[in-house]
Structure 1
Amino acid sequence: MFLSPLSLVNILFALASFGEVIDQNEAIKSNEDPLIYSLLEENQRIEILDNFEVIHKIEQKHTILSHEGLRHAFTSIFYDKLNSIENFQLQVIDPASGKTLSKAKTKDMVDAAIYSRSSIFDDNRHKYYEVKSHQFPVEVHVEIETKASSNFQLDEWVPVHYYNQKVTKSTLTVVYPEQIGLRYKALNLLGEHTEKKNGNQIEMTWVETDLPVQLPDLKKEDDHKLLLAPLSFALGDYVGTMEDWAGLAAWQYKLNEGRRSLSEDFEEKLHEMVAGAESDFEKVQILYDYLQKNYRYVSIQLGIGGWQTMSASDVVSYAYGDCKGLTNLMQAMLKAVNIPSNYTLVYAGENADDIETDLPSNQFNHVILQVPLQDGKDPVWLECTSNSLPAGFLGSFTKNRHVLVITEDGGYLTKTPSYNSFDWNAIHSQNEVKIDGSGNATIATQMKIDGNFAEDLLGVQRYLDSREQKDYLHRNSPVSGLVINEYQLELERKDSLLIAGLSYDGFIQRFVQNTAKRMILKPFLGKLTEDMLVNNSLMQVDEYQIELPEVMEAENLAELLVLEEEGVHVTLSSSLEGKNLSVNREIKLSLSDDFSEEDKEELIRKINALGSTNFYFIKNTSALTHE
């Protein structure tokens, strides 16, 4: 994975959740208004030079009202080979007396590396300074100047940096040469925007005043934000345009040109590996499996190397690479056996937001591979940093989002698979339960779990030891109070589909409640959760064969319960023969993309309500006297 350049002023605790309750004397608060930990006045100026360098100046005046507000004055400035810190000055002032309490400059900041968990080559660093004070209110005046050698990535402007912060005024001015150009997208801005021209220089200014105080329940899509992107840009010696997505793709193609060469010996080895394959997809599977078993992922973030891949031959020599290097090698291997593929940029992350498709710009942090197939078949997508996913399954890290496909002719925007059909969202469980006379029970369960849900168990298998795996199964058991004795978890690939097989034997204490005349079986069906509907699709079948301790009469057995709505079909059936109780639940959900979160919550409530009733059984009382 590569990192897109970080914000030049990266406030590490931005948008952190502060739940502390503080004294009313320590912050501004009325009966209706939220707590305010600090006030902010800020002026930012971004100047793009003719040589594509960017000067970014920031002036801030924080009025810190409480101890919690000190976090708002925490300053962190990113730097690397492409970004430098030109100036930092800070003053802490007593507003009552005007006396300066403390000062700080760049030399007083703490210098630290910014590590990614798997990075071994990295030049990402930051300097930070933490303000300390025991009196309030205090004013913190900050001046920052940074210089970037490239305008490839321009910082987004977010006027409100923190929850519980009152922004009284925030100004952004952007100055740029007309020939370089600039595009922008304003999201939820409430203030003024002006533009003027001085010779060949364009100056744009945005002013936001008296913005609402934000709290942790703020929805991301409601935040105030301005996105910026250049028309023309340069990174190192590579000049490009972002007027459209094809322009950015053409620049990326040029950046990696000539880096896919492999030795003749290695290419010959690849041909031997796929010699018996009967289809292109089978060849892709073979080579992808080889990549997964023989090359490990590391992060490499060195200057332009954050965007330019290692050569394929170097990845072969070192047996490692980042997302760019591994994807580039996979593309080179496929090319060697005459299968075309496309290097593809994506913004990756678990449940990450999609990019702004109407603002061509660098919005990416990862690379995957697209392999078009013949005969109109859907392309095969490869996550080349994974050594466990099957070919054609991207998983939650990059599914269902827009990506920029890089081709020799430029490129185009498309979308990765959503994996929202029943095949990718299926759970089938078979459970045999035996209840003894004391009300305890043993259970033997076999589960088949497909696609997205199997990905979760893949993580359990790979990253948890046996004790942690058992703890995970206990926590996620559909039957409350289950203690697992033995379990077995196996994962396999069926073409692109990941399939998990889980079986376990366990013990449940007090599974039922006994009275003299009745046995009460409490609800035991697993509850549907919001996480299970992330993909708007679910096929779940739960079958229970329950052996009662003796022959009983069912008092309230409902043979069939049905919930039927558009895209929703749920049935719950039960029957009793002798002392054998059968309970089967089938859930089939195929929800539209515009199905709201509130509608999902209500649907989940109704489905769970179907299995929430106790089962009552009348015992054989011929040998009993009175209850």
Structure 2
Amino acid sequence: MKRHLFFITALLGMAKVHAQGNYDISRIPAELTKDASVVIRDEEQIYEVKSPSSATLTYKTAVTILNQNGEKASNMYEFYDNFSSISNLKACLYNDKGIKIKEYKSADFKDKSAVPEGTLYQDDRVKFLEFLHTGYPYTIEYSYVVDYRGIRSYPTWYPARSWGYAIEKSDFIFRIPEGMTFKYLKHKNVKTDSLKVKDKMEYKWGCRNVPALEFEPMSTGLKNVMPWVNVAPNQFEYDNSKANIEDWTNFGNWMYGLSNGLQVLPETAKTKILALVKDAKTDQEKIGILYNYLQSNTRYVGVQLGIGGYKPIAAEKVYAVNYSDCKGLSNFMKALLEVAGIKSNLVVIGNDMPSLNKSFASMGQANHMILCVPLEKDTIWLECTSQRTPIGFIGNGNSNRTVLLVTEKGGKLVQTPTYEPASNYQKRNTKVNFDEEGSADISIETRYGNAQYEDNMAMLFADPSLQRKRIMNTLSIPNMQINTLSYTQPDKKSPVLNEKINLKSTQLLANGGDKLFVTLNLLNRQESSLTALENRKTSFNIAYGYCDEDEIIYTLPKGYKVEFMPKDILIESEFGKYTAKVTLKDNTVVYTRTKTMISREYPPEKYNDYVAFSKKMFQADKQKGILAKVE
């Protein structure tokens, strides 16, 4: 009897373990659920290179979604094109006990075009499965195989793709024929294992039990604290094109070969171009005329078919149809300049991406092309996709970047212009006239330069109702009524925007007995929403360096005088400088404020110093003056 009872008990225990399954959330270590919305339970990515033009990716993962914040991690999206195919799509859904509640087959996966808006030609598609399960927590497991018939790059391994991702287990296995070479970068704490398997070399990277990281403001990213590996080919074949990209010189050679000979224009075009520049006295004038011609006669559309994702459309084709992508328009501008006798170079750049890694040449670091025109005493950089960008202004997302200049001698790494804080300015002059009742007529004139021009440029072309709505939402003036509002760009060649606003307010002054209180910084106050962090993990930065200058002239209401005004304020740190002062002139109070911020990457241990600096400016911006009745 005892034997039978023991046997039955053992069977029940085994059944319970089996029913709970490997994905029971109780099996997740407690330290992995802290600050986590997603836990990568078991991930394996195997990429096997067969030749410079073919490879296979075998991928499987199990992801536990702990709460609504992690919902997006449950959806599977895998992209493909004419040079790749996806097969063996499978997925399973498990409840919080790890019990399978639904199984998906290939027919359950959807397939649609992955062409973004503004793209005319592109063959990208996506297979996807969106899970509609609302009972948290749950686990989704899926797998697939991708076969590549053309290679441009190798995959990255980055299991913690966002804040709130914990990793229980993740592995990346990379196999390559023994005779082929490649390169890789990795996080300093990730170990590399390698061994020879038959005629291939196998490399393996992995991680176990990596806790999630809670969101950190102003972060430059998770890559300095979370595991990752970037792998890139030295040789590849794609769409009948062969490339050697062991270094940036070779990369540039390949890009030059793709564009060489594509700057030929028909004779009618050459005649028109020469007529346009015949009266220009300098190369700078010619460049300005031809850049204006480009902006007035072409528009941007995306073209990403095969090698067309890297090879520009011929200049004569762009001349005929008047549209192209960044490569085609930059190449077309290069052709226009050639007719005028001016040499230029195509530039490979990562727009809104970090600088190119000088010692690691790879495809995935760039997403854009512009044009560089080297002159004897100056260099002009041209953003050729915009019909509105001033000549020479390439935008904050392209500034201070290491980029690749494509020359007949190969690629050359160079630096784009840096927009210093003084050039990214906001200069504002405001006049506030109080009447006897304390109501105010307010006139505001502001000039925005470079990066701040870019931030506000859309207002030039916005509908007046949208302009008013934005002003109502951004200016912190109580009970305001906008009378007039206008935006102008005095010189199309200069990244400067003028803003003029005239409005009324009846609540600028606060009453306190027989006193009136006025907050001196009316328009541009520091927002103090940052909180100190005890153990910050990631570096941080300021989006861009800038300088704000404000002058506000208050004309006092009749019958009042100044009783109190705050002393001058100076706040300095490695992050920037702040000044504020008040001067009295007859019946006016003149408040001036400057704020200069310095943009660079700061280490995590500096963050609380930055928070303290911000709080000091926040307090300074709350300074009030007191007015008293004249006796």
Alpha-carbon distance in structure 1 between the residues aligned to 2:158 and 2:168: 14
Question: Which residue does 2:499 correspond to in 1?
Answer: 502
CA contact (8 A) 2:566 2:623 kept: no
Partners of 1:356 and 1:390 lie apart in 2 by: 29
- Could you tell me which residue of structure 2 aligns to residue 609 of structure 1? 619
Q: Which residue matches 1:544?
A: 552
- 2:149 is aligned to 149
Q: Is the 8 A contact 1:188 1:225 kept in 2?
A: no
1:524 corresponding residue in structure 2: 521
Instruction: Tell me, yes or no, if structure 1 residue 40 matches structure 2 residue 41.
Output: yes
Q: Call closer, same or farther: CA 1:166–1:522 in 2, change over 3 Å.
A: closer
What amino acid sits opposite 1:129 in the alignment? L
User: Which amino acid is 2:152 matched to?
Assistant: F
In structure 2, how many angstroms separate the alpha carbons of the residues matched to 1:36 and 1:591? Answer: 32
* Structure 1 counterpart of 2:227, from 224, 227, 230: 224
Please give the alpha-carbon distance, in whole angstroms, between the structure 1 residues aligned to 2:582 and 2:347: 51
CA distance, structure 2, for counterparts of residue 50 and residue 503 of structure 1:
62
Residue identity opposite 1:504 in structure 2: I
Look up the match of 1:491. 489
Q: For residues 133-182 of structure 1, what are the alpha-carbon distances to aligned partners after superposition, in whole Å with 9 as ceiling and x for unaligned?
A: 57787664433110122232111111235655543222211111233311
- What displacement does 1:126 show? 0.5
How many angstroms apart in 2 are the aligned matches of 1:259 and 1:189?
46
Matched with 1:303 is 306
**Alignment-derived partner of residue 465 in structure 2:** 467
- Given the superposition, is the C-alpha separation of residues 529 and 299 from structure 1 closer, same or farther in structure 2, using an over 3 Å criterion? farther
Contact 1:38 1:66 in 2 (8 A): no
Q: Structure 1: how far apart are the matches of 2:313 and 2:367?
A: 16
Q: Which residue is 2:536 aligned to? A: none
Aligned-partner Cα distance in 2 for 1:281–1:548: 51
Contact 1:562 1:570 (C-alpha < 8 Å) held by counterparts: yes
CA distance in 2, matches of 1:137, 1:431: 55
Does 2:588 correspond to 1:580? Answer: yes
Question: 1-side partners of 2:569 and 2:542: how far apart?
Answer: 22
Q: Distance in 1 between matches of 2:577 and 2:76?
A: 53
CA shift for structure 1 position 206? 1.4
Aligned to 1:187: 187
Deviation at 1:529, TM superposition (A): 6.0
Taking the aligned partners of 1:256 and 1:278, their CA distance within structure 2 comes to 30
Between stretches 518-527 and 243-252, larger displacement belongs to 518-527
Q: Which amino acid aligns with 1:44?
A: Q
Instruction: Tell me the residue number matched to 2:237.
Output: 234
Aligned counterparts of 2:34 and 2:98: Cα–Cα separation in 1: 29
Cα deviation for residue 371 of structure 1 reads 0.9
Among 308, 312, 315, which residue is 2:315 paired with?
312
Secondary structure at the counterpart of residue 483 of structure 2: strand
Aligned to 1:457: 456
Structure 2 Cα separation of the partners of residues 289 and 283 of structure 1: 10
The answer on whether the counterparts of 1:189 and 1:208 sit within 8 Å (CA) in structure 2 is no
Shift of 1:117: 2.0
Corresponding residue for 1:20? none
For the pair 1:50 / 2:51, whether they are aligned, the reply is yes
The residue number in structure 1 matching 2:278 is 275
Q: 1:303 to 1:529 in 2, by over 3 A?
A: farther
Residue deviations 1:525-574, cap 9 Å, x none?
42146999633341x33222222122433222346444456795544332
Letter of the 1:617 partner, please give it: L
- 1:324 CA displacement: 0.9
How many pairs were matched up? 588
Deviates more, 1:363-372 or 1:232-241: 232-241
How far apart are the structure 1 equivalents of 2:620 and 2:477?
A: 16
In 2: Cα distance, 1:603 partner to 1:460 partner: 31
Contact 1:48 / 1:54 at 8 angstroms: preserved in 2?
A: yes
Give unmatched runs, 5+ long, in structure 2.
1-24, 530-540
User: 1:604, 1:441 → 2: CA distance?
Assistant: 30
1:4 match = none
Residue identity in the other structure for 1:508: S
CA RMSD of aligned residues (A): 3.1
TM-score (norm 2): 0.85
Contact residue 551 and residue 578 of structure 1 kept, 8 A: no
Distance 1:365 1:554, change over 3 A: same
Deviation string 1:369-413 (CA, Å, 9 cap, x unpaired) is 1111113x2x21111111111111111232222211111110111
Q: C-alpha distance in 1, partners of 2:516/2:279? A: 62
Aligned twin of 2:5: none
How far residue 322 of structure 1 moved from its aligned partner, in angstroms, is 0.7
Secondary structure in 1 matching 2:210: coil
Residue in 2 aligned with 1:16?
Answer: none
When residues 447 and 101 of structure 1 are mapped into structure 2, their CA distance, relative to the original with a 3 A threshold, is: closer
Q: Is 1:420 aligned to 2:420, yes or no?
A: yes
Correspondences of 1:140-539 after superposition (within 5 Å): 140-161=140-161, 164-190=164-190, 192-198=191-197, 200-217=199-216, 219-221=221-223, 222-349=225-352, 352-362=353-363, 363-375=365-377, 377=378, 379-422=379-422, 424-462=423-461, 464-477=462-475, 479-493=477-491, 495=493, 497-515=494-512, 517-525=514-522, 526-528=524-526, 534-538=543-547
Pair 134,556 (structure 1): closer, same or farther in 2 beyond 3 Å? closer
- Tell me the secondary structure at the aligned position of residue 283 of structure 1: helix
Cα distance in 2 for residues equivalent to 1:443 and 1:367: 45
> Is contact 1:173-1:203 (8 Å) kept?
yes
- CA deviations 1:496-547 (Å, max 9, x no partner) are x311111111011221124553222233342146999633341x33222222
Corresponding letter in the other structure for 2:43: E
- CA displacement at 1:284 relative to structure 2: 1.2
Q: Give the CA deviation at 1:132.
A: 5.0
TM-score by length of 1: 0.85
**Contact 1:551/1:579 (8 A) holds in 2:** no
Conserved 8 A contact 1:458-1:491: no
Structure-1 separation of matches of 2:267 and 2:346: 23
> 1:303 is aligned with what amino acid?
G
What is the CA–CA distance in structure 2 between the aligned matches of 1:523 and 1:381, rounded to whole Å? 41
Distance 2:392 2:326 in 1: 17
AA matched with 1:177: P
Give 2:545's aligned amino acid: N
**Tell me, what secondary structure is at the counterpart of 1:335?**
helix
Cα–Cα, structure 1 residues 261 and 519, in superposed 2: closer, same or farther, change >3 Å?
Answer: same
Q: Quick one: distance in 2 between partners of 1:194 and 1:556?
A: 71
